[in-house]
Amino acid sequence: DPKIMLVGSMQSLFEAAMYIFVLNWPPAVSGVVSSYFAKFASDSSAAIGTPYGTVFSCFMACCLLGSTVFGQLTSSSRVDKDGNS
């Protein structure tokens, strides 16, 4: 069935985009943190650690917030199988 193939292709592309993001955000954040906080360090040898746990927990909190808001906004409108409200 072509519709099944289309759904599978779309899911594969979405997952690929997610993996690209997951593998690329730590180096990007690390570069920004080190370049930003380097100007505040009094000692040039002081290493500034990247708060990966904080950043990841903020990502997860935003996912939770978006899911909750979407659920609240869509719970008041019912849609039938033809797409009519």
% helix / strand / coil in the chain, to the nearest 5?
Answer: 70, 0, 30
- 27-54: per-residue pLDDT in tens? 888 888 878 877 776 665 556 677 888 8
Q: Please, which pLDDT band fits residue 20 given cuts at 50, 70 and 90?
A: very high
- 47-76: per-residue pLDDT in tens? 667 788 888 899 999 999 999 999 988 887
- Of 22, 29, 37, 24, nearest to 55 by C-alpha is 29
Report pLDDT for 69.
95
Tokens of 5: 């193939």
Report pLDDT for 37.
76
